[in-house]
Amino acid sequence: MIIDIDENSGFCWGVVRTVEIAEKTLEENHNGNVYILGEIIHNPNEVQRLEQLGLKTINHEHLRDLKGENVKVLIRAHGEPPSTYQKAKELGIELVDATCPLVTALQNRVRKFYTEGYQIVILGKPHHPEIIGLRGVCNDECVVIQSEEDVLEKVDFSRKTIFLSQTTMSREKFNRIRELLESKVKELHSFENYKEQLVVKDTLCRAVVGREDNLRKFARAHDVVIFVAGRNSSNGKNLFGICCEANPNSYFIEEIAEIRPEWFSGVQKVGITGATSTPRWYMEEVKKAIEHIASN
C-alpha cells in the first residue's frame, strides 16, 4: 500500500504566524500567565500541544477574573471586535494581537464602507469568530448571508451595497451569490450606474481557495482519502466537501481512533490531507497508524 500526505495541506501562513506568536509569547513568559481568547485554531490536537506548553484557553467571561494580574492574552487568527480591546484596556490586561493580517484587512474594509453609508453584506457563518469580529467593527449593522435564499430575504437592493466574504468560504458559493446580487441590483438600476450601487470585494483567502484545485487532483489520484481536521473547522468542512466530490471514498477524521481498517481493504493508494488548521505533525501520526493497519 502506498500512503501519501498531500504536500499542499496543513497550516496556512496565517495560522503558522499565529502559532509562532503563541510559542514566542510562551517562551518569553515563564510565569505561565499566557492566555488565549477561544481555541487558537479549530484543531484539538494542536490546541492540546500548546496547552502542554502552558497556553491557557479562556472565554470573554474570564477576562474580568484576570484583572490586576500580570498576564498576557492572545487574540487568535480569527480576530476580535473592538469591544474586546476596549474591555481589556479597562481591565488593564495586555493583549498580544495574533489576528491574521487578511482578517485585519477585511475588518478595515468593512469599517471604511460602513462609515461611507454602504449596506454591508457578508457571506459567512453568523456565529463564526471571524464574523463576530466583522459585526463588531460596523456596530452589528450588516447582513450576514449563507445562501441565495438569504440574499432574497435579507438584502435591500435599493441601497448602495458592498459584498464581501468571510475569508474561509468557498469560491463557488461566493461567485453564485455575487451573480445573484448583480442580477437583482441591475433590475433596479440602469447598466451605467449599477456598479456604483454594488461594490464586490473578493476577500477569500488565497491560501484556502488555491488549495481547491490541488485537492481535487490529489483526491482523484488515490483510491481512498483520509481528511484530517477539527470538526469545528469551517475551512475543513468546505475542503472536505470538495474532496468528496472528487473522490466518494473520502473519510473525515478528527482523531486517529476514528480510523477503520475496512476502509483500506483491497486499496493500493491512500491519500492523507487536511484543513489549513491541521498540523503536519498530526498527519504524519495518521500515516503511521495506517501503516500499522496495513502491516497487520
Closest CA to 240 of 267, 212, 260: 212
pLDDT of residue 191: 60
**Contact in structure between 71 and 33 (CB atoms under 8 Å):** yes
Question: In CATH, what number does 102-166+170-203 get?
Answer: 3.40.1010.20
Phi and psi at 101, nearest 5°, equal: -55, -30
Question: In CATH, what number does 13-99 get?
Answer: 3.40.50.11270
Say whether 69 is catalytic: no
pLDDT of residue 13: 86
All three cell numbers of 200, joined, read 464586490
Supply the pTM of this predicted model.
0.84
Give percent of the chain above pLDDT 70: 97
pLDDT of residue 12: 85
Q: What is the pLDDT of residues 5-21, one digit of tens each?
A: 999 998 888 889 999 99
pLDDT of residue 177: 96
Angle between helices 234-246 and 206-220 (to 10 degrees): 30
CATH 3.40.1010.20 in the chain: give the residue spans: 2-10+207-294, 102-166+170-203
Question: In CATH, what number does 2-10+207-294 get?
Answer: 3.40.1010.20
**Contact in structure between 227 and 239 (CB atoms under 8 Å):** yes
H or E element in which residue 8 lies? none
Residues 220-253: b if buried by 16+ CB within 10 A, e if exposed = eebbbbbbbbbeebbbbbbbbebbbebbeebbbb
pLDDT of residue 187: 84
DSSP state of 257: G
Mean pLDDT, the chain cut into blocks of 10 residues (296 residues total): 94 90 90 87 89 92 83 93 94 93 96 97 94 96 97 94 93 94 85 79 86 93 97 87 96 97 95 93 96 90
Q: Which one of the listed residues 23, 130, 196, 254 is annotated catalytic? A: 130
All three cell numbers of 41, joined, read 485554531
